[in-house]
Amino acid sequence: MIIDAHVHITKDGKWFDTGHDASLKKLIESLDKNKIDKAILLPIVPYISNEYILKVCNEYPEKFIGFCSVNPLKRNAAKDLEHYVIDYGLKGLKLHPKLQGFFSYDNSISKVIMKATELKIPVLIDAWVKPNEINSSNIIDLIETIAQDHPSCKIILPHFGGYSYKKMPEISNKFNNIAFDLSYVLSKFDGDVLHEEIIPIIRQIDCKKLIFGSDFPEIDISQYLKKAKQVFTDMHYSSKDLDAVFSKNIRNLLQIG
C-alpha cells in the first residue's frame, strides 16, 4: 500500500496565485496513474474549508482521508476541532502558522493542542518558511515548544523542516512524539544539496519517523514518487522499511488498518 500523506485540493481548482491545477479531477488522475491507494487531504482554514474536505472524503471514502483545520487564535478553536473530529470524523489537524498568522506559543495554541491530544489525533504543523521571511526561525521553535509541553501529542513536521532540515536529527533525538513528512523537500533541494546534505541527514532519522507525502498540487506526484523511491532505494532500505515510510507509519499515527 502507498499513502500520499500531504495533498491539497480546492473547489475551483485554483491554487492561490499560481498556475497549479488543484482540482479533485487532477488529483484522482494522478493517484490512479501512480497506483497510490490513499491520500490525506489537508485543508487550510480559511482558504480550504473543512466542509469541502469532508464532502470529498464522503464521496471517495476508499481513496481519501481528511484532516481538519482550525485557526487556534479564534476563541472557539478547540470546540470547533472537537466538532470536526467527533461529528465529521476527520482524522487529524492541520495548522499553518504562516497563513494563519501565529508564530509564538500561548494559551490559545495550548488549548487546541490539548484538545487534539485528548482526541488522539495527529497535528501537522506547517514548517515551510523562507529564511528571509519575518519570524522564519520561530516556526521550528514553536513546534519544539509544543512537542515539549505536550509529549503525548502526535506531531507531524512536514517538508522535513523546510530550510531548517539540518536541525531534524537533533529534533528527532530530542522528541519521540515528532514524525517527519518528506513532502516537497526532495524536489526543492534537488541536486547536490539533496545528495550531499539532505539524504545523509535523512539517514540519521529512524525510518519509523519518516512519512511519504508529495505536496500536490505544487508537486507532480509521478515525478515525486519516483524520486522518493529512488532516494530510499539508494539508501538500501529494506522492503519492511519502505512499507513503513510509504504506508505503515502514517497508518499507525492515524490508528487505521
pLDDT value, residue 187:
94
pLDDT of residue 137: 64
Whether the CB-CB separation of 101 and 133 falls below 8 Å is answered with no
What is the gyration radius of the CA atoms in the chain, in angstroms? 17
> Please, are residues 53 and 19 in contact by the beta-carbon 8 Å criterion?
no
Per-residue pLDDT at 136: 59
Task: State if pTM tops 0.85.
Answer: yes
Number of other residues whose CB lies within 10 A of the CB of residue 38: 19
Instruction: Give CA–CA dist 250/193, Å, rounded.
Output: 27
Locus of grid cell 487505521: 256
Cβ 31 vs Cβ 39: under 8 Å: yes
The pLDDT, as a whole number, for residue 127 is 87
| 8 Å CB contact between 116 and 81 | yes
pLDDT number for residue 30: 98
pLDDT of residue 128: 86
Domains and CATH numbers, the chain: 3-254 (3.20.20.140)
Q: pLDDT truncated to tens, each residue of the chain (257 aa)? A: 999 999 999 999 999 999 999 999 999 999 999 999 999 999 999 899 999 999 999 999 999 999 999 999 999 999 999 999 999 999 999 999 988 988 888 999 999 999 999 999 999 999 887 777 766 568 899 999 999 999 999 999 999 999 999 999 999 999 999 999 999 999 999 889 999 999 999 999 999 999 999 999 999 999 999 999 999 999 999 999 999 999 999 999 999 97
Helices 107-119, 77-86: inter-axial angle, 10-degree rounding: 20
